[in-house]
Amino acid sequence: MPVLVHKYGGTSVGTVERIQAVAERVLAASRAGHHMVVVVSAMGESTDHLMGLASRITAHPDQRELDMLLTAGERISMALLALALGERGAKAISFTGSQSGILTDERHGHARITEIRPHRLREALNKGQIVIVAGFQGVSREREITTLGRGGSDTTAVALAASFAAPCVIHTDVAGVFTADPRLVPQARRIPRLGYDAMGALAHLGAQVLHARCVDLAAKFSVPLEVRSSFSDEEGTVIVDPATLEGPAVRAVALERQVAQIFLSGEDCAPGAAASALETLSALGTAIELLALDAESERVRLSWAVKESEAAAFALAWEKAEKPAGRWRLRVEGGRALVSLVGSDLAGDADVALAAARALSRAEIPVLGARAGSLAVSLLVPAERGEDALRRLHAEFVENSGGPR
Amino acid sequence: MPVLVHKYGGTSVGTVERIQAVAERVLAASRAGHHMVVVVSAMGESTDHLMGLASRITAHPDQRELDMLLTAGERISMALLALALGERGAKAISFTGSQSGILTDERHGHARITEIRPHRLREALNKGQIVIVAGFQGVSREREITTLGRGGSDTTAVALAASFAAPCVIHTDVAGVFTADPRLVPQARRIPRLGYDAMGALAHLGAQVLHARCVDLAAKFSVPLEVRSSFSDEEGTVIVDPATLEGPAVRAVALERQVAQIFLSGEDCAPGAAASALETLSALGTAIELLALDAESERVRLSWAVKESEAAAFALAWEKAEKPAGRWRLRVEGGRALVSLVGSDLAGDADVALAAARALSRAEIPVLGARAGSLAVSLLVPAERGEDALRRLHAEFVENSGGPR
């Protein structure tokens, strides 16, 4: 009997009634002839509630103890789901991340999975039990409880699917991946099939339905991945090998709000100052978008975009860092948004970037920066024009082109 | 540096503010020169809240999954206490029952501790860390999470104290052990020192301050045990080897409500029917109080008291059980209360039982059953006269005798 991995997010298990609905859904998949492995997040607001308790106690919590605290959340939701399945006559058994053999490194709060040893899960599946696994958590070689950070439960699900060579269905509160956020663009349509690469780019550029990390993992192990709603039986979005896809170049548009632009300039620099500056940036470990570089012999100008929440920390880190020779000046401009066209084979297509800039220009939306890559064309615009820019790009590149097939 | 075990119950860690107060108390004991091992229960109502969620899902929960669910509670309180200690500059680290090496048998919901392997706790203490341990929980040899049932956190604390040859201080919401429940008997006084045996009898006979199981364990391993309030610095009650105590014979009075009396009679019995009936009762595993037996050659009459909540289950089990030869009849009378005088060397003292019965008789309280043992004299009275009986026995045997020293 084939193994199937289901994952249910916090909203999907947010109340007793929803947990009961999840039990019915899992049971249906089990009766349809699958060995079920079900990964669950903590119930709805419970993680926020626990974080709230911790923040009333300390502003600088120890990460190990924070992991101990937060992992209580999945323990509750998985046990309740097991009880709900038991009440329906099914044999179900829940396992913590540690019991599931999800081994991680030692980085509390954002651990990486290093290995999966799902012996107990296999045993339980062989006994005909429905297996429920706590998402988001693992155990280090020192037997410390760790959490995987953002997108952690999705990552648990995909990693288990890879380990069992099984497909993975991520259940969430939306019906799949759309050509744009339907709350912002009413014309947005569900994308039936999407490549791992485009999905990864979308996730990276602001689409919240899946975390880039779990998409990358699915691509690496060719895990068949589907995103669908846990509240309806609608078809979702299937994420596949891009080589199997045909269709329009542009698949979706995405908006990332609260972006800051950073300008760094150096005067009287030594030769190679640009490369040195880039090395310093890389050592500071910030995710950098839309890097623009303009260098002469003794003068370097760099600009790029970061999340607004990270800008101040970056400025402070730059202040403290050992800098290349020369006089350096850093300027941070907040109030930006990043709009992106995501698809495939966009790199060679200068027309896409140009057409996008023209579309925004016609609407008198200033373009403050741009990057054209193979999977995405991104444009930096003033924050207050972000939604408008998103709608115009969707109209131009998705609605007028017939959209995804 | 000597090890000291502190235990804090659910009320003591019921809010963030109370957890902060516990942190201060633990820190003071640590600064006074102790290696601290701190056992905590789940926060206040959290166990009831989790049980409530489970009961909305199923009336017959799987015990394994219930244990998985409930153990989330201590995980939260212990991590928060560790954070509160960290915030105060202390090195603190929390461990689950499993990480603490608390091995149990497989009986989910009421597991027994079989062994303690506190390697990780020892390591942490040697590093100068304050160790926080989740009460009430352990792990079986099959690596299943178990809970210890009623009085579980106290039992964890005493077992760890035994393992470290350390004293144990149980912090609760009352200032120690009293000569009677002060809510019922305003004249009740704190007992400064009490023997393990009398404390065990008191716990067994309805005093709720400590569970009999943890007292028995403390007696077995001669763990110096103290009960005190977590809300004040008042002295508490020290539980000691009874051989070191002098004082009045009667130390305290206790009331157990909601007691049922069971009458079992057999006619046309074979010889030895009484012994056979007792064996059947013993096999049914019910805790029996005040057994009265009256047997002739072919006729047996037994009567005893049980908790009202267990009476129906007992009647059903008796119905199904294989009975000795003869015609047997079972009758259950609810609405009883059990009042007890607890102390030491009461066995040979027929006067105590007689004086107790006379005191109740003067107040026209019917005595429906009685037993005089070495540690306690217990009397069965109508439920609605229980409190009155308690006050009269306290007046007669505690207040008039000068009370405990």
User: What DSSP string describes A271-336?
Assistant: TTHHHHHHHHHHHHT---EEEEEEE-SS-EEEEEEEEHHHHHHHHHHHHHSPPPSSEEEEEEEEEE
A260, A168: one domain: no
**Cβ separation B58–A86 shorter than 8 A:** yes
Alpha-carbon distance A85 to B58, whole Å? 9
**Matching residue, tokens 């579980």:** B152
Alpha-carbon distance A154 to A9, whole Å? 8
Tell me the pLDDT tens digit for each residue of B174-227: 899 999 998 899 999 999 999 998 898 888 887 888 888 899 999 999 999 999
The pLDDT value recorded for residue A404 is: 42
Q: Is A243 on the interface with B (CB under 8 A)?
A: no
Q: Which domain holds residue A322?
A: 253-399
For residue B39, list its beta bridge partners. B7, B133
Question: Encoding tokens for residue B314?
Answer: 């007992």
Q: Is A179 inside a domain boundary?
A: no
Give Cα B77 to chain centroid, integer Å: 22
Average per-residue pLDDT for chain B: 89
B35, B157: one domain: yes
The pLDDT value recorded for residue A132 is: 98
Q: How many domains does chain B have?
A: 2
Alpha-carbon distance A363 to A377, whole Å? 18
- Say what the pTM is: 0.82
A29, A119: one domain: yes
Q: Which of residues 315-344 of A touch B (CB under 8 A)?
A: none
Pairs of CB atoms within 8 A across A/B: 110
The pLDDT value recorded for residue A311 is: 85
3-state secondary structure B195-229: EHHHHHHHHHCCCCCCCHHHHHHHHHCCCCEEEEE
Alpha-carbon distance B90 to B29, whole Å? 12
Give Cα A258 to chain centroid, integer Å: 17
Q: Is B213 inside a domain boundary?
A: no
Picking from A55, A75, A108 by the largest number of B CB atoms within 10 A of its own CB, the best residue to mutate is A75
Q: Is B246 inside a domain boundary?
A: no
Alpha-carbon distance B283 to B266, whole Å? 18
Residue type for A320, please?
A: K
Closest CA in chain A for residue B60 = A87
- What CATH number is given to the structural domain containing A161? 3.40.1160.10
Residue B396 · residue B364 · CB < 8 Å: no
pLDDT at residue B64 tops 90: yes
Tell me the pLDDT tens digit for each residue of B360-403: 989 999 888 887 777 888 889 999 999 999 999 999 988 876 54
B169, B259: one domain: no
A286, A165: one domain: no
Mean pLDDT of B23-37: 97
The pLDDT value recorded for residue B321 is: 79
A30, A166: one domain: yes
Residue B199 · residue B239 · CB < 8 Å: yes
Q: Is A232 inside a domain boundary?
A: no
Residue type for A292, please?
A: A
Closest CA in chain A for residue B68 = A79
Mean pLDDT of B122-142: 96
Q: Is A360 inside a domain boundary?
A: yes
pLDDT at residue B115 tops 80: yes
The pLDDT value recorded for residue B3 is: 97
Alpha-carbon distance A75 to B53, whole Å? 13
For residue B266, list its beta bridge partners. B300, B328
**Cβ separation A66–B79 shorter than 8 A:** yes
Q: Which helix (H) or strand (E) holds B145?
A: strand B145-147
Please compute, for residue A68, the number of CA atoms within 13 A of its CA located in the half-sphere on the CB side.
Answer: 30
Contacts of B68 in chain A (CB under 8 A): 75, 78-79, 82, 94, 96
Q: Is A21 on the interface with B (CB under 8 A)?
A: no
**Cβ separation A86–B75 shorter than 8 A:** no
The pLDDT value recorded for residue A193 is: 92
**Cβ separation B57–A65 shorter than 8 A:** no
SS3 call for B324 = coil
Q: Is B352 on the interface with A (CB under 8 A)?
A: no
The two beta strands, B327-343 and B376-382, are antiparallel
SS3 call for A150 = coil
Contacts of B120 in chain A (CB under 8 A): 143
Q: Is A24 on the interface with B (CB under 8 A)?
A: no
Alpha-carbon distance A158 to B63, whole Å? 30
Of B50, B57, B84, the CB nearest to A20: B57
Picking from A80, A127, A130, A140 by the largest number of B CB atoms within 10 A of its own CB, the best residue to mutate is A80
Q: Is A132 on the interface with B (CB under 8 A)?
A: no
Of B20, B62, B73, the CB nearest to A57: B20
Q: Is B82 on the interface with A (CB under 8 A)?
A: yes
The pLDDT value recorded for residue B104 is: 96
**Straight-line distance from the first to the last Cα atom of chain A, in angstroms, rounded to the nearest whole number:** 32
Number of residues that this document lists for chain A: 405
A169, A22: one domain: yes
Q: Is A189 inside a domain boundary?
A: no
Alpha-carbon distance A118 to B395, whole Å? 65
d(CA B98, nearest CA chain A) in Å = 11
Of B19, B64, B72, the CB nearest to A57: B19
Residue B239 · residue B178 · CB < 8 Å: no
What is chain B's alpha carbon radius of gyration, rounded to the nearest angstrom?
Answer: 23
ipTM summary value:
0.78
A154, A259: one domain: no
Residue where one domain finishes, among candidates B138, B153, B173:
B173
Picking from B17, B50, B69 by the largest number of A CB atoms within 10 A of its own CB, the best residue to mutate is B69
Q: Is B322 inside a domain boundary?
A: yes
The pLDDT value recorded for residue A405 is: 35
**Cβ separation B80–A57 shorter than 8 A:** yes
Please compute, for residue A184, the number of CA atoms within 13 A of its CA located in the half-sphere on the CB side.
Answer: 22
The pLDDT value recorded for residue A348 is: 57
Contacts of B86 in chain A (CB under 8 A): 58, 61-62, 65
Q: Is B51 on the interface with A (CB under 8 A)?
A: no
d(CA A57, nearest CA chain B) in Å = 6
Please compute, for residue A82, the number of CA atoms within 13 A of its CA located in the half-sphere on the CB side.
Answer: 29
pLDDT at residue B63 tops 60: yes
- What CATH number is given to the structural domain containing A318? 3.30.2130.10
Strands (E), B87-197: 92-95, 102-104, 113-116, 130-134, 137-140, 145-147, 168-172, 193-195
A384, A291: one domain: yes
d(CA A267, nearest CA chain B) in Å = 45
Residue where one domain finishes, among candidates A150, A173, A196:
A173
Contacts of B63 in chain A (CB under 8 A): none
d(CA A126, nearest CA chain B) in Å = 17
Q: Is A75 on the interface with B (CB under 8 A)?
A: yes
Of A50, A60, A87, the CB nearest to B76: A50
A140, A270: one domain: no
Closest CA in chain B for residue A53 = B16
Mean pLDDT of B130-138: 97
A269, A125: one domain: no
**Cβ separation B68–A75 shorter than 8 A:** yes
A46, A166: one domain: yes
Could you read off the pLDDT tens digit of each residue along chain A, which spans 405 residues? 899 999 999 999 999 999 999 999 999 999 999 999 999 999 998 999 999 999 999 999 999 999 999 999 999 999 999 999 999 999 999 999 999 999 999 999 999 999 999 999 999 999 999 999 999 999 999 999 999 988 899 999 999 999 999 999 999 988 999 999 988 999 999 999 999 988 988 888 878 888 888 999 999 999 999 999 999 988 999 998 887 777 667 889 999 999 998 888 888 887 777 777 777 777 776 666 667 777 676 788 888 888 888 888 888 888 887 887 888 888 999 999 999 999 877 765 567 888 888 899 899 998 888 877 778 888 899 999 999 999 999 999 888 765 443
Contacts of A80 in chain B (CB under 8 A): 53-54, 57, 69
Residue where one domain finishes, among candidates A151, A173, A195:
A173
Residue B367 · residue B361 · CB < 8 Å: yes
The pLDDT value recorded for residue A300 is: 80
Q: Is A266 inside a domain boundary?
A: yes
**Cβ separation B58–A83 shorter than 8 A:** yes
